[in-house]
Amino acid sequence: MHLETLRMFCDLFDLQSFSKAADKNFMSQSAVSQRLAQLETAYKCQLLERQKRPLELTAAGELFYKAATEIIHRHEQLRSELNQLKSASSGRINVGAIYSIGMHSLPVYVKKFMVTCPTINVHIEYLGAEHIYELVLSGDIHIGLVAVPKRDKRLDVYEFEDEPLVLVCSPKHPLASESEIDIHKLQYERFIGFENNVPTRMWIDSILQRYNIVIRPAMEFDNIETVKRAVELNSGVSILPRTAIVQELASKTIKALEFTNERFFRPTGIIVRKDRVLSREARYFIELLRKKS
């Protein structure tokens, strides 16, 4: 019995969707169906009521689901404990951050930390948000930094910085002559946004929907750096955190406009696994981050 199969079964019931379980486990929908059939053949019982919506577990399925979640949790706990031993002996704190936070917000905190703990290595990996959640839960990294943090019963989530959002455009764009802007002027503008699975995309979409703004999608990317390059080429406008465009503003390759309607922001957060036992230095690093200096 592979742990991947147990995870797939639990995800299938938790997400109530064969297609979503397939996406989360990087397999095809037919492969999920085959794995489920193989489980039922191996244990000679039906585990899931396929014809019902929402999906329901059979009595055997409930027993299997409970055991599977316990096995997965114990395995994750074991990995976490082994990683704690490894990191404790190496004097290292593993941090996973989305690119914009890792490049633009995190360095000042690392410098402050190194003044007090010069012998501890803060190892930062720049990763996508979903990968950060997975690595925090698996115990491979101690601390995660993400935008628009989602709640999870397995995680402690702490507020980090609220990043001011501004309209960004090329200096050659017609809107660049403005010093500030009403969000309604974005109606039907060519817009460079984030891909659907990026939390910041959903956050910005909610702002546009609140003001009944319809934009014309021009391009979609999974990271801020690529969005900025497209804006510089005058391929459209976008909404980005001001903290992520400091260099471009200094070199005048991007123009930033404040909104007149209200102060928009993007929340960011610190995520740590609930049952993770952290070193004194890691706890101190989290305290520094929470001070939001």
Are residues 152 and 280 both part of a single domain? Answer: yes
Q: With 60 as the cut, is the pLDDT of residue 59 above it? A: yes
Are residues 149 and 106 both part of a single domain? Answer: yes
Are residues 107 and 202 both part of a single domain? Answer: no
Q: What is the pLDDT of residue 84?
A: 64
| pLDDT, average across residues 159-186 | 95
Are residues 191 and 260 both part of a single domain? Answer: yes
Are residues 73 and 85 both part of a single domain? Answer: no
Are residues 192 and 238 both part of a single domain? Answer: yes
pTM attached to this predicted model: 0.67
pLDDT digits (tens, 9 = 90+) for 228-237: 999 999 999 9
We report the CATH number of the domain holding residue 50 as: 1.10.10.10
Residue that is last in its domain, among 31, 55, 78: 78
Q: What percent of the chain has pLDDT over 90?
A: 72
Q: With 70 as the cut, is the pLDDT of residue 88 above it? A: no
Mean pLDDT of the chain, nearest integer = 91
We report the CATH number of the domain holding residue 248 as: 3.40.190.10
Q: What is the pLDDT of residue 139?
A: 86
Q: With 70 as the cut, is the pLDDT of residue 206 above it? A: yes
Are residues 119 and 198 both part of a single domain? Answer: no
pLDDT digits (tens, 9 = 90+) for 115-148: 999 989 999 999 989 899 999 998 889 999 999 9
Are residues 107 and 238 both part of a single domain? Answer: no
Q: What is the pLDDT of residue 169?
A: 97
Q: What is the pLDDT of residue 68?
A: 93
* Least confidently predicted of 57-61, 162-166, 275-279: 275-279
Q: What is the pLDDT of residue 204?
A: 96
* Least confidently predicted of 22-31, 173-182, 233-242, 281-290: 22-31
Please provide residue 267's backbone torsions phi and psi, each rounded to the nearest 5 degrees.
-75, 145
Q: With 90 as the cut, is the pLDDT of residue 245 above it? A: yes
Are residues 180 and 156 both part of a single domain? Answer: no
CA atoms within 13 A on the CB side of 197: 8
Q: With 80 as the cut, is the pLDDT of residue 87 above it? A: no
Are residues 197 and 53 both part of a single domain? Answer: no
Are residues 90 and 72 both part of a single domain? Answer: no
Q: What is the pLDDT of residue 90?
A: 56
Q: Which amino acid is present at 239?
A: I
CA atoms within 13 A on the CB side of 39: 24
- Total domains in the fold of the chain: 3
Q: What is the pLDDT of residue 51?
A: 82
| Partners of 242 in the β-ladder | none
Both tokens assigned to 269:
């957060």
Closest CA to 218 of 199, 205, 237, 233: 237
**How far is it, in rounded angstroms, from Cα 78 to Cα 234?**
50
Residue that is last in its domain, among 78, 103, 123: 78
For residue 149, cis peptide bond before it (omega within 30 degrees of 0):
no
* Domain of 28, in residue numbers: 3-78
Q: With 80 as the cut, is the pLDDT of residue 292 above it? A: no
Please provide residue 128's backbone torsions phi and psi, each rounded to the nearest 5 degrees.
-70, 155
Are residues 145 and 57 both part of a single domain? Answer: no
CA atoms within 13 A on the CB side of 20: 9
Q: What is the pLDDT of residue 165?
A: 97
**How far is it, in rounded angstroms, from Cα 237 to Cα 170?**
8
Residue that is last in its domain, among 78, 96, 130: 78
pLDDT digits (tens, 9 = 90+) for 143-166: 999 999 998 889 999 999 999 999
